[in-house]
Structure 1
């Protein structure tokens, strides 16, 4: 199925109509199965009210070009002059909407994001209770002094060594902080991709090990389990 564009009333600080794109797996209409879902948070330059800014970009569009991508992908658009940390409430509400209206495996909902979206994923993972089963921040950043907030949170983070926008040291500082307090975290570092969203996303989600890692984690509302 092609990526489709939608809008909903957002319970955001701006209380405006917010846009999002939705990818449904190509076999969605031919089965009765429930599908795991990924919330994807985009980077800073895709903010606004023009949903076409997300066309050809991000995880939903990567998924559309894969024959067997096993996840529903919902990609909200952050309002202009805001960021994902301020849009948490309506973004999570959007996940609930998709869950009610499509066949979503409620125990297997994950969060991934790039750049500002990677920062958003770190932020969402730091909150409690956590609605997601595992987190994939790409080329993002967070405050290492807040590492204690991530106890027992499944995170696999990705960053390019030659990133020319968000230094890889941001991710390495978080990984070091988490490791120092005994919190398991996986990290993969690329070379040659710089801060190219579609290249980083494609490299990351072409990794069969990451797909298997995500699907191992469930969140039944009482905590994450394997």
Structure 2
């Protein structure tokens, strides 16, 4: 009886350790929801308070397609490496961020990566494009019985924009990353599927994956983060995605977490960049 209890205790401690650290690069982890809601709200408010003017506004035209975007540039004088820096591409969600004001897309994620606290340890360019329509559509995969995502043509313009920025800015071509929430998370998987040559890694938070290009994704590190109680974008799609190609995927399943309550202190601070910047194109 004593040995059984001791073994159970060791398993419990090991799980807590895995859930509280991003040292685990790949695999599936059930993460308990943070109970410190006050601290989470304070942290979110601090991140959102970053002035939009820290991001330069511009537009990119290719043929008949125009993409408005914001770009944060790292402080060269404060950076440890003054030669080339990573580029973090942040895709926005649906709803309010969709439009042409070139402001609404500046939510938690782009401001997190551009915040002084993160830039001090992880200096990088942060690109926040804005789509005037949805960037990804959802359909039912009748074979798998789950939702899957389909990229819209407008996404091609963002990849062309990235290629253009690579030639005009000192961007480290081996460290270009994609990050997104909700529809933006789906767009992350769409981007990695289409341009595995471009992106070194990606983080998908509460998204819907794409299944028709799994072979192109097998060498790209991906971090899936999803609330177990998400009813807007059900976790079942990510569960099937992980089951079919688990070799290079870290899958965080957040217990007692819905679509709208996913951003807590567990995902803020250095948690995301610490994992992301550990990967580069080989």
Alignment match, 1:20: 69
Please give the alpha-carbon distance, in whole angstroms, between the structure 2 residues aligned to 1:40 and 1:23: 11
1:141 maps to which of 205, 208, 218:
208
Q: Between the two structures, name the one with larger relative contact order (CA 8 Å, sep ≥ 6).
A: 2
Aligned pairs (5 A) from 1:3-42: 3-11=54-62, 15-25=64-74, 27-31=75-79, 32-42=82-92
1:168 maps to which of 229, 235, 247:
235
Distance 1:35 1:64, change over 3 A: same
Q: Give the stretch that moved more between structures: 95-104 or 68-77.
A: 95-104
Residue 39 of structure 1 and its aligned partner are, at CA, apart by: 0.8
Residue 101 of structure 1 and its aligned partner are, at CA, apart by: 3.5
C-alpha RMSD of the superposition: 2.7
Q: Give the stretch that moved more between structures: 183-192 or 35-44.
A: 183-192
Deviation digits for residues 133-179 of structure 1, max 9, x if unmatched? 11111111124465333222211111111223111112111111113
Q: Is the 8 A contact 2:98 2:105 kept in 1?
A: no
- Confirm or deny that 1:156 pairs with 2:156: no
Q: Is the 8 A contact 2:55 2:72 kept in 1?
A: yes
Distance 1:151 1:16, change over 3 A: closer
Aligned pairs (5 A) from 1:169-188: 169-179=236-246, 183-188=247-252
The aligned length equals 211
Aligned pairs (5 A) from 1:1-226: 2-11=53-62, 15-25=64-74, 27-31=75-79, 32-45=82-95, 46-55=97-106, 57-69=107-119, 70=122, 71-80=124-133, 82-83=135-136, 85-144=152-211, 146-179=213-246, 183-196=247-260, 199=263, 203-204=266-267, 206-208=269-271, 210-219=272-281, 225=282
Please give the alpha-carbon distance, in whole angstroms, between the structure 2 residues aligned to 1:114 and 1:59: 8
Please give the alpha-carbon distance, in whole angstroms, between the structure 1 residues aligned to 2:267 and 2:57: 26
Greater gyration radius:
2
Distance 1:18 1:145, change over 3 A: closer
SS in 2 for 1:88: helix
Please give the alpha-carbon distance, in whole angstroms, between the structure 2 residues aligned to 1:63 and 1:9: 22
Q: TM-score, normalised by structure 2?
A: 0.65
Q: TM-score, normalised by structure 1?
A: 0.79
Deviation digits for residues 75-131 of structure 1, max 9, x if unmatched? 100122554542232111221233333332121111111111111111122225520
Q: Which runs of 5+ in 2 are unaligned?
A: 1-50, 137-150
Q: Is the 8 A contact 2:135 2:183 kept in 1?
A: no
Please give the alpha-carbon distance, in whole angstroms, between the structure 1 residues aligned to 2:273 and 2:103: 28
